[in-house]
Structures are given as C-alpha cells and as structure tokens.
Structure 1
Amino acid sequence: MSTLQISLAIAGGLVLAGVVAHSTWSSRRNAPRQALPEAGNGAGRAAPADGTEPARTEPTFDDDLAASHPLPVPEKKPGMDALIDVIAPIALDAPVSGDAALAAMPPTRRAGSKPFAIEGFNEVAQHWETPVPGQRYGAFQAGVQLANRTGALNEIEYSEFVMKAQAFADAVNGAPDFPEMLDEVARARELDQFASDHDAQLGFSLRAQRAAWSPGYVQQNAARLGFVPGVIPGRMVLPASVAGLPPLLGLAFDTQAAMADDPAQSALREVTLSLDVPQVDRGEQPFTRMREAAAALCAAMDGIVTDDNGQPLVPEAMDVIGADLEQLYDTLDARDLSAGSALARRLFS
C-alpha cells in the first residue's frame, strides 16, 4: 500500500470517528432527560442533555407560606343544605331503626345527574345523619342537589327524585312533603347561573426549552415539591394539608407516555399544572403555591411557563390573575359558598 493510500485511510478513519462522535453527541443531546438515582442525602439531580455540570437547583416552596396563612380545619361529613339542595321532610308515625332505613334505600344515590340523599334525625344524638345500623330515627328527609357542573336540576330529574323519595317513605311508613317543582327548578337555574359565572379552573403549561423530559424525570422533580402519584397514569397531585380534602394542585402529562413499555424513551415537551379554584380553601394559598411550583419546576427542568396558546406568562400577568382570584374568593364567601367549603365542593363538582 502506498503512502498516499495509507494517508487517505487514516483520514477516512478520522472522519468516520468524527461522524460517530457527533452522532452520539447529538443523540445524547436530543434524548429525553432521565431521572437519576437519589444521592445519599435524598437530593439527586438530573444532568442536562449536553453533558455539562449544572448548578445545583432544588425545587422548593416558600417555607414561611404555611405559617403566614390560616389553614382549613377538618370538618364533619357534609349533610344536606337548603342553599344547594331540594329538601323534602318525611314525617313518621313511629321511630324507625337504621337497619330498616338502610333496607329501604334506593339502589342508586342519584336522580339523573344529581346526587340524591336520605338523612335521618338520630333521637339519641339529636342531629341529622346518614342512617346507620343500630340507631333509631324520629324523622327523615330526602334531598337532591339543585346544580353541579353538569347543569341545573330539571323537571325530569325532579320527578325521579320524587319517585325515589316516595318509595323510601312508603317503605318506612312515612309521609313526605315535597316543595313545588317549578319553584325548585327555577331556584336550580339561578344557582347554576351563579356557579357558571364564578367557576374557575386554572392551568399553566410548562414547556421544555431545549431537551425533552422523560416521565420519570418529571415525576422525580415534582416529587421533591411534595407531589404524589394520582390514580390516573400521567397525573400527580399535591395533597391538601388536611387529609381527605381535594388536592391543592394537579400535574398532568401524556397518559400514553406514562403507560409506554419503556417510559424512559418517551419524550415529553409539555406538562400541565392545574388548580380547581372552588375545590381548595383560600387559606391554603393555592395560587401562590401554583406559581411557586411552576417556577421551581421550570428552574429545575429548564422549562418555561406559558398559557394555553403557548405565550410566556410573565409575573405581571400572574399578578392580574391573582387579583381576579381574590375578588372571586370574596364573591363566593358572600354567597356562603366559600372555596374549599363542603357546599362549594359539592356545587362545583
């Protein structure tokens, strides 16, 4: 082999090596960012796609937030309320046992799309409650919700309510007293209009600025903020401070990516951070927590916060949203439907 041939072979080898190296670098740069094993102190981090060492950034919330705002307190199981329910009293000739009442209950607890309920007046405890075995009740009341997010109670649903309540009353030898249907349907429409005008479900889109994210990478960073897996794949929630209450925030990404055979190879370029305003007590400062979560996740994952149209959300725009929410909270308070209350959670569901 001549010197020229050897030189050309060497040059070709170098070019090939360069192509392979560039291809490997590009593939690594464009691959979804992956979650890394947590360090011994529990604070792991994911390296950026280009391989450079990032500054250590741990997403955090404001530690003084919980101390500066009163938090909701646990409440008893919510009962019927004339503000959002049609209530029909059922008079009895004699007390009825809880066992008999439960046996007389209808098989479903809905009238159309509206929740239906029976409550009994416990003679010993002297309060209304859902019938339980071993107790005795001196009266009952049947109720159906006037409105929810499916709309207002209509005439057909009211008629179904009457039939179910009458059947229960017959079974316990009771006499129901039903309100006038047209009056209740009109009240339902007014309540539904108020609810429609004052419902708010906010969403921020968090978009990757450069490399995409794997589901595990998103989950790892969100978990550091207190988010836990939801029931649906691709959904996480930030629990409320009181067990049993709706979550403060939701975090969602593509369900198919979360259920893929190899989720690590799924590339996410967007996740959604959400707040169901009427479901969460304002004392939890959920919008402030939402802003903090968005900022912390974007800082940790090299993302940007946008609206539904992909436009960046600047702090001034978020301030306006926050001011509007305070007015909404005040309006709900004035109507005795405070955000996060049992009545608000039922109405806005």
Structure 2
Amino acid sequence: MSTLQISLAIVGGLVLAGVVAYNAWVTSRNAPRTAREQPGPEAPAAVTNREDDPPLNDHPVAGEPGDDERIDPVFQDAPVSAVRVREEARAIPAVAVTLNHVVSTPEKKPGLDALIDVIAPLQLEGEVSGEALLAALPGTRRVGSKPFAVEASIDEGGDWESPRPGQRYRALQVGVQLANRAGALNDIEFSEFVVKAQAFADAVGAMPDFPDMRGEVARARELDAFASGHDAQLGFTLRARRAAWSPGYVSQNAARFGFVAGVLPGRMVLPGSLAGQAPILSLAFDPQAAMAEDPEQSALREVALSLEVTHVPRSEQPFVRMRQAATALAEAMDGVITDDAGQMLSTDTMDAIGSDLEGLYDALDSHDLSAGSPQARRLFS
C-alpha cells in the first residue's frame, strides 16, 4: 500500500470518528433532562418571599377541583391565549409520575344555599328515620346538568345535613342548583326537579312546597349571566429553551417548590393552606409521557401552569404565587414563560393581569360569591 493510500485511510478514519463523536454529542445534548441530574440544594431567589408574602406551600394536599376545564379570562390587557373565556373551555391533561399519590382529606359537601339553589321544603307529619330517607333517594343526584340534593334536620330550624342512618328527622328540604358552567336552570330541568322531588316526598310521606317556576328560572338566568362574566382560569406555559425535560425531572423540580402529585398522570398541584380547600395551582404535562414504559426517556418541551381563579381564596394570594412558581421553575429548568401561542409574557402584562384580578375579586365579594367559598366553587364547576 502506498503512502498516499495510507494517508487517505488515516484521514478517512479520523473523519468517521469525528462524525460519530459529533452525532453522539448532538444526541446527548438533545436528550431530555432526567431526575438523576440533581438540582442544587437551594431554591432560586425568584421564589423567595417577602415577609408579608405567603410561602409557596408546605401543606399536604387537601383535594382537587372536580373540573379541570381551562377557562380563558376576560381580561383585555393580557394575550388571549394566556387568559381564556368561559365559552372556549377545554380540558387540561392531568397527573403525577414519580411521586407517591397523596391521600386527600375527605371534604364535607356544602349544603343548599338560597343564593345559588332552588329550595323546596317538605312538610312531615311526624319524624322519619335516616334509613327511610336513604332508601327513598333517587338513583341519580342530578336534574339535567344540575346537582340535586336532599337535606334533613333533627329539629325544626336546626342545622341541615345529608340523611344519615341512625338519625330521626323532623324537617326536610330538597333543592337543585340554579346555574353552573353548563348554563342556567331551564324550564325542562325545573319540571324534572319537581317530578323527582315529588316522587321522593311521596315515598317518605311528605308534602312539598315548590317555589314559582318562572321566578326561579329568571333568577337562574341572572345568576348565570353574572357567572359567565366572572369565570376565569389563568394559564402560563413553561417552554424548554434547549434540552427537553423528562417527567421525572419536571416532578423533581416542581416538588422543590411545594407541588405534590395529583390523582391523574401528568398532573401536580400546589395544595391550599386549609383542609378541604381547592389546590392553589395545577401543573400539567403530557399524560402519555408520564405513563410511558420508561418515563425518563420521554421528552417534554412544555408544561402548563394554571390557576382556577374562582376556586382559590383571595387570601392565598394565588396570582402572586403563580408568578413566583413560574419564574422559579423557568429558572431552575432553563425555560421561558409564554402564553399558549408561544409569546413571551412580559412583566407589564403580568402586572395588568394582577390588577384586573383585583377587580374580579371585588365583584365576586360584592355578590357574596367570594373566590374559594363553597358557593363559588359550586357555581363555577
């Protein structure tokens, strides 16, 4: 073999080795970051609260809202894709991956309230047992798209509760919710309520006293109109700048800032400070990636951070904490904060959203439907 051939062979080998090394470097660079890449022990300064700010959270999860619809807000100063209106609601994918599921404290179901329910008293001739009431309950607790409820009281004018075995009751009432995210109670649903309530009353020997249908349906429309204009959920999207993230990497970083596993794959929540309170924030990513055979090899380019405005008490300062969490996670995972269209969210835009939220909270308070109250959570569900 000539010297030229040997030289060409050496050069060819070096080129081939270089190509292989380059491809290996590109593959390594583009591989999703995994939980094995331990972040530093200190949380980024972005999540450090002032003395008058609430901590991001260190409480156990206390339950999640039953509806994960994402609602675009009505705030006009923010990008449409960052805040959506009620009519464009769509489901957010949900659950957690590497963290153990957290057992929630059972939440006491809120009772009927004349503010958001049609209530019909049932007159009894004497006492009736809890067992008899339970046996007479209808098979479904819904009237059309609205919740239907039966409540009983041991004494006239006493506290109301759902019927329980071993109790004897002297007063009964039935009710149906006036409005929810499915709309206002209509004539057909009111008629269905009357039929269902009458059948229950007949079964327990009671006499119902129904309110006027026209008045209640009109009240339902008025309540629904208010709810439609004040129902909002905020959403930020965290996008990876360079390397993608694995589900475990996202979970590991989110857990450092107080998030815990949700009940569905691809969902984590920041719990409220009180038992029975809705989560303050939700963090969601692709559930298919979370359920993959090897989640650490799944690549996530974005995660969604959302706030159900009407479900979280104002006292929790949820939007302040949402901004803190988004900033901290973006810094920790080398990401950016955008709207759904990929547009960067500026500080001015976030300030405008926060200002508009204060007006929304004031409007809810003035209608006795304060954010996070049982009535608000039922109405906006």
**Does TM, scored on the shorter chain, surpass 0.5?**
yes
Q: Which has the higher contact order (CA 8 A, sep 6+)?
A: 2
Q: Does the CA contact (< 8 Å) of 2:142 and 2:148 recur in 1? A: yes
Which of these residues, 87, 96, 99, is aligned with residue 131 of structure 2?
99
Tell me whether 199-208 or 238-247 shows the greater mean CA deviation.
238-247
Structure 2 unmatched runs, 5+? 60-104
- Given that 1:281 and 1:339 are in contact with CA atoms closer than 8 Å, whether structure 2 keeps it comes out as yes
Aligned to 1:116: 148
**Aligned positions, number:** 330
When residues 251 and 106 of structure 1 are mapped into structure 2, their CA distance, relative to the original with a 3 A threshold, is same
1:3 equivalenced with 2:35 (yes/no): no
1:159 equivalenced with 2:191 (yes/no)? yes
1:18 has 2:18 as partner: yes
Mapped to 2, the partners of 1:184 and 1:302 lie a distance apart of 54
Residue 90 of structure 2 is matched in structure 1 by none
Q: Distance in 2 between matches of 1:178 and 1:123?
A: 21
Q: State how far apart, in whole Å, the 1-side matches of 2:3 and 2:350 are.
A: 70
Alpha-carbon contact 2:247-2:300 (below 8 Å) kept: yes
Please state whether the residue corresponding to 1:129 is helix, strand or coil: coil
**TM (normalized to structure 1)?**
0.90
Please list, as runs of the form range in 1=range in 2, the aligned pairs for 1:1-349 lying within 5 A after superposition: 1-36=1-36, 44-45=38-39, 58-59=43-44, 60-62=47-49, 64=51, 65-66=53-54, 77-123=109-155, 126-349=158-381
Per-residue Cα deviation, 1:175-232 (whole angstroms, up to 9, x for no partner): 1000111111111011001000000111001111111111111111111111122222
**Does the 8 A contact of 2:108 with 2:276 survive in 1?**
no
**Structure 1 residue ranges without an equivalent (≥5):** 38-43, 46-54
Q: In 1, distance between residues paired with 2:41 and 2:162? A: 53
* TM-aligned CA deviation for residue 92 of structure 1: 0.7
- Tell me which residue corresponds to 1:50: none
Asked if 1 retains the 8 angstrom alpha-carbon contact of 2:156 and 2:170, the reply is no
Is the CA contact (8 Å cut-off) linking 1:30 and 1:212 kept in structure 2?
Answer: yes
Q: Determine the C-alpha separation between the residues in 2 that align with 1:25 and 1:34.
A: 17
Q: Which amino acid aligns with 2:54?
A: A
Q: Give the TM-score of the pair, scaled to structure 2.
A: 0.82
SS of the equivalent of 1:128 reads coil
Q: Structure 2: how far apart are the matches of 1:217 and 1:319?
A: 30
1:52 — aligned with what?
none
Q: Indicate if the aligned counterparts of 2:117 and 2:177 stay in contact, CA closer than 8 A.
A: yes
C-alpha separation in 1, matches of 2:19 and 2:302: 31
Distance 2:357 2:154 in 1: 40
Runs of 4+ in 1 over 4 A off after TM superposition: 74-77
Counterparts of 1:63 and 1:87, CA distance in 2: 46
Query: 2:6 and 2:125 mapped to 1: Cα distance?
Result: 111
Query: Retained in 2: the 8 A contact 1:122–1:129?
Result: no
Q: 1:202 to 1:78 in 2, by over 3 A?
A: same
Q: Distance in 1 between matches of 2:108 and 2:176?
A: 20
| Conserved? CA contact 1:57–1:300, under 8 Å | no
Looking at structure 2, the residues matched to 122 and 139 of structure 1 have their Cα atoms a distance apart, in angstroms, of 7
* Preserved contact between residue 61 and residue 225 of structure 1 (Cα < 8 Å): no
Please give the secondary structure, in 2, of the residue aligned with 1:94.
Answer: coil
Q: Is the 8 A contact 1:91 1:174 kept in 2?
A: yes
